[in-house]
Amino acid sequence: MSRRQQDALSRTALGVFRLNGQFLAVSERLAEPAGLTAAWWQVLGAVLPEPLPVSGIARAMGITRQSVQRIADLLVKEGLAAYAPNPAHRRAKLLAPTEAGRAAVRRIDPAHAELAALLARELGGQEAFDETVRVLERLIGAMEAVESAAPYS
């Protein structure tokens, strides 16, 4: 690996860490008026399209199953989500949002849309925003490929 590649990796990692912190902070501000935390919103958002097992949510979000399990249990306790039987696996229940959970996420939509519009404008328009998404998705795919090969371990 060249020094230039190492520097690029370091700058990328530091940038992603900083971006993660920024997204977490803004997500907390967006979620709070709806009675959610950023983590609760993230887990509810993962199951809005379809119920998923905790392990599937964790995989999609890139965090530990234990973290998702803790949040899922809190969402169920608060009536924002419910566990349902999983026809594919008896012990791994599916997490699904309740109507109260869906309503909480809907309360975030106006501020979420406003943030999206502000980011699009700041990035130079929708095309630039879409390109940013494509680059991040390529980086995620590349990291997954590198992790599975694990030549550095």
Mean pLDDT in residue range 59-68:
92
Name the β-bridge partners of 52: 95
> Which range in 55-64, 125-134, 140-149 is most confidently predicted, on average pLDDT?
125-134
- As a whole number of Å, the CA-based R_g of the chain is 18
- 76 pLDDT band, cuts 50/70/90, is very high
**Span 107-131, pLDDT tens digits:** 999 999 999 999 999 999 999 999 9
pLDDT of 91: 84
Residue 151 or residue 142, greater confidence: 142
Q: Mean pLDDT score of the chain, rounded to an integer?
A: 94
pLDDT of 152: 66
C-alpha–C-alpha distance, residues 86 and 95, integer Å:
9
pLDDT of 151: 66
Question: Worst-scoring range by mean pLDDT, 22-31, 42-51, 87-96?
Answer: 87-96
pLDDT of 52: 95
pLDDT of 48: 96
State the CB neighbour count (10 A cutoff) for residue 137: 10
pLDDT of residue 142 exceeding 80, the answer is: yes
DSSP 3-state of 83: strand
pLDDT of 1: 66
Would you say 65 and 58 are in contact if contact means Cβ atoms under 8 Å apart? Answer: yes
C-alpha–C-alpha distance, residues 19 and 13, integer Å:
10
Question: Worst-scoring range by mean pLDDT, 1-15, 102-116, 139-153?
Answer: 139-153
